[in-house]
Amino acid sequence: MGEVTALPEAEGIWEAQPPETMPGGKLPRIKEKNRRLHIRVLTAREPEAILWEISFPDAPTNNILQRGITLTPEGEGTRVETTVRWIRPDHRLGIGAKLARLAVGTPLRPVMRHFVRVQAGDFARSISRQFR
C-alpha cells in the first residue's frame, strides 16, 4: 500500500493510493480507475472483531470487497477467523450488463467461490505470520 489518508469530509473513510514505484523500481500495473481505494470500517468490536469494506470511487461498477477478522481465545492461544466477501453493485448496472453477468457468472460461480476461499486463506496466513 502506498499512501493512506483520512478523508475530512467523510468520517470513518480512508483513501489509499498505490506507491508510485514498487520495490526494485518497477511501476505498478494498476488500471487508472482502480488507483484510488476507499476503506471504510463497518463493524468494530474491540479487541475481538473488525469488518471493513474496500471500494473503488473512480469505478462505481467494480465489486466491493469486504474483509473481516475475528479473534477468539482458544486454549493457550488465539484463533484467527477471517472472512472475505465480494459484493456486486448490481443497482448501478444497466439491464444488458446484468444479463451478461448472469450468463457468465452462473457457470463460473463454483470457480469464483474457490478463489475467494484462496483469498481468505492467504489473508488469514498473512495475519497469522504477524503474530509469530
pLDDT digits (tens, 9 = 90+) for 79-98: 888 888 888 877 777 888 88
**pTM above the 0.75 mark?**
no
Q: Would you say the C-alpha torsion 67, 104, 113, 22 has a positive or negative sign?
A: negative
Domains located in the chain, CATH noted: 3-130 (3.30.530)
Identify whether the C-beta of residue 109 lies closer than 8 Å to the C-beta of residue 96: no
The mean of the pLDDT values for the chain is 84
* Residue pointed to by grid coordinates 473503488: 56
Percent of the chain with pLDDT over 90: 12
pLDDT digits (tens, 9 = 90+) for 30-62: 888 888 889 999 988 888 899 999 998 898 888
Which pLDDT band, with edges at 50, 70 and 90, does 1 fall under?
Answer: low
**20: DSSP letter:** S
For the cut 70, the answer to whether the pLDDT of residue 106 exceeds it is yes
